[in-house]
């Protein structure tokens, strides 16, 4: 698995590149990259997108659309994706939920800024590795590796929320 800008990344180089992507995404979306609540939001939204095959990609690479039997099946799949796609409004709701929950957590209150920064970087790196694996698998139309990346995203979400993935939904309600 390679990362953008690196032909054969070493571990430190890979982490640096993933953190650059994380910070660039935060800036583009209007979130503070140095905020632990944003790191959780980034982790959750992006793993949710990987698990549900919702990451932006050309239709010809979309794993779900490639398996469609006919045009009606494609339309059904596209309709389902549209209802599951996470909007920026929903991302802000997720961020605010984490912001509120973390501010009330005594363990988080005891953390130093350096500890919070390290935790944020771990979340961003973990999610970034899953996403790079997924993205490369999609580009290569490697269904086995797509499924492996989706499974990693599922396990990460289930571990974080301590519940099964079928109970995890991002919505406005």
pLDDT (0 to 100) of residue 32: 94
Return the structure tokens found at 121.
């970087």
What secondary structure letter does DSSP report for 61?
Answer: G
**Mind listing the pLDDT tens digit for each residue in 110-169?**
999 999 999 999 999 999 999 999 999 999 999 999 999 999 999 999 999 999 999 999
Q: CA angle at residue 171 from 165 to 173, to 5 degrees? A: 120
30: left (phi over 0), alpha (psi -120 to 50) or beta: left
Residue 128 CA to its chain's centroid (Å): 7
114, 55 Cβ separation under 8 angstroms: no
User: What integer pLDDT is reported at residue 24 of this predicted model?
Assistant: 96
């Amino acid at each position: 698995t390679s990362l953008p800008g690196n032909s054969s990344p070493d571990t430190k180089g890979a982490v640096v590149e993933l953190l650059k992507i994380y910070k660039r995404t935060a800036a583009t979306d209007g979130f503070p990259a140095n905020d632990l609540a944003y790191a959780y939001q980034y982790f959750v939204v992006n793993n949710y997108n990987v698990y549900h095959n919702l990451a932006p990609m050309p239709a010809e690479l979309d794993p779900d659309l490639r398996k469609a039997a006919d045009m009606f099946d494609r339309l059904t799949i596209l309709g389902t994706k549209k209802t599951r796609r996470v909007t920026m409004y929903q991302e802000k709701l997720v961020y605010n939920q984490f912001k509120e929950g973390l501010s009330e957590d005594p363990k988080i209150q005891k953390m130093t800024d350096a500890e919070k920064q390290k935790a944020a970087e771990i979340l961003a790196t973990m999610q970034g590795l899953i996403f790079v694996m997924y993205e490369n698998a999609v580009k290569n139309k490697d269904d086995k590796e797509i499924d492996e990346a989706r499974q990693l995203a599922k396990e990460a979400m289930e571990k974080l929320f301590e519940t099964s993935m079928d109970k995890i939904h991002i919505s406005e309600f």
